[in-house]
Amino acid sequence: MFYILLITMSTGSFAQTASTGEQPGVSPWGATDQIGSLNMMSDGNNLALFSRIATGKVYDLGVEYFIGMPSFTALGDPPYQFWMTHTPHGNLVGDVTHAGDSVNGKVSYTGDALSMYTHTGTHIDALAHFGLHGKIWNGFAADQYLSDRGWKKGGAENIPPIIGRGILIDVAKFKGLDILPANYVITLKDLQDLLKAQHIQIQKGDIVLIRTGLMKYFYTDSQKFTGNGVGISLEALKWLVEEKGVMTLGGDNLALEALPSTDSSNWLPGHTYLLAQKGVMFMELVYLEELSKADVRQFLFIGLPLKLRGASAAPIRPLAIPLGDK
């Protein structure tokens, strides 16, 4: 259970840790910046990528939304709900259109509604999701900017269309596995070995997607999915950001980083590092199975998260289009 993963962490003793160095980052893009590393995008880079598209085939990196889907409910957040508000037969019984049987019987109207935690399904975490000591990336304080309807700074509505070169780091496949062992922590060495073996050069501004294989359970076993803390180590995340200059990242697992945290002062240190300290948004629950099967390793990535005003995350259904060599 993910719940157990968190609890395991949270029952440790939490001595007050020094917060030296763990303050929200100050944006190099200026005091008004709310999108951090996504500022790396440029029209010129986009055009260069478009010109390298090798095939018309596209890969869908988003999961379906359905009642019972795996989601993070360990802290009480609402699981995905979906319900009918209008059905062809129901219209005949209820006649909420006031149109009468003849019209309702002809016009077979279906409507439906949903509710969910914003971090459900394939989604991107906005910079407002995690801060440090009451402030998020670029120093925006909750006291000043967090209303009852979300953040006035750093919310998901600020996220531009995300376009960049995508790189698949298929750790599970590289190790000859369908899925990494339960709670496996992907190390920096794992990444470096793979990149070397596959002759992949990560470039500044790339979008790196890491595959654990966990999606195997997404549609079939919700508890196995949410109970598996497999993910990437903080060390590896730091290397990708600081050494390689990635623009954004994604994983096919629940939290990108490995769970539970081994830092007793922080239950999601990868989240605070990426979002609050580095201004790097990232994606979770990305569906990488088709890319993996087809051995697509570099691609044009296009992601268009819903512009949920003030939100700490937004659903996204990313697209991958294979690129030719350059």
Considering only residues 241 to 270 of the shown chain, the ones binding its own copies according to CB under 8 A are: 264-268
Which residues within the stretch 212-231 sit at the binding site for its own copies (CB under 8 A)?
none
For residues 254 and 2, the answer to whether their CB atoms sit within 8 Å is: yes
Please report whether residue 93 would count as binding its own copies according to CB under 8 A: yes
Contacts of 249 (CB under 8 A, 6+ apart): 207, 208, 209, 210, 237, 240, 256, 274, 280, 282, 283
Tokens 């100050």: give the residue: 26
For residues 323 and 298, the answer to whether their CB atoms sit within 8 Å is: yes
| Dihedral of the alpha carbons of 277, 279, 280, 283, in degrees to the nearest 10 | 100
Rounded distance between C-alpha atoms, residue 256 and residue 258, angstroms:
7
Q: Residue 313's CB: how many other CB atoms inside 10 A?
A: 24
From the CB of 275, what's the least distance to its own copies, in Å? 10
Please report whether residue 88 would count as binding its own copies according to CB under 8 A: yes
Contacts of 118 (CB under 8 A, 6+ apart): 156, 308, 311, 312, 313, 314, 315
Of 4, 103, 182, 294, which one interacts with its own copies (CB under 8 A)?
A: 103
Amino acid identity of residue 309, one-letter, is: R
Of 28, 105, 181, 324, which one interacts with its own copies (CB under 8 A)?
A: 105
Instruction: Name which of 30 and 68 has its Cβ closer to its own copies.
Output: 68
Please report whether residue 325 would count as binding its own copies according to CB under 8 A: no
Of 97, 181, 192, 294, which one interacts with its own copies (CB under 8 A)?
A: 97
Q: Which stretch binds its own copies (CB under 8 A): 28-36, 143-151, 182-190, 195-203?
A: 143-151
From the CB of 278, what's the least distance to its own copies, in Å? 15
Of 253, 272, 277, 298, which one interacts with its own copies (CB under 8 A)?
A: 272
From the CB of 129, what's the least distance to its own copies, in Å? 6
Which residues within the stretch 54-83 sit at the binding site for its own copies (CB under 8 A)?
55-58, 60, 62-68, 73, 75-79, 81-83
Q: Which of 250, 258, 177, 256 is nearest to 213 (CA)?
A: 177
Rounded distance between C-alpha atoms, residue 123 and residue 198, angstroms:
28
Rounded distance between C-alpha atoms, residue 79 and residue 232, angstroms:
25
Rounded distance between C-alpha atoms, residue 298 and residue 49, angstroms:
11
Of 148, 197, 325, 326, which one interacts with its own copies (CB under 8 A)?
A: 148
Please report whether residue 107 would count as binding its own copies according to CB under 8 A: yes
Phi, psi of 132 (to 5 degrees): -135, 130
Please report whether residue 135 would count as binding its own copies according to CB under 8 A: yes
Of 20, 32, 102, 201, which one interacts with its own copies (CB under 8 A)?
A: 102
Instruction: Name which of 97 and 262 has its Cβ closer to its own copies.
Output: 97
Please report whether residue 193 would count as binding its own copies according to CB under 8 A: no
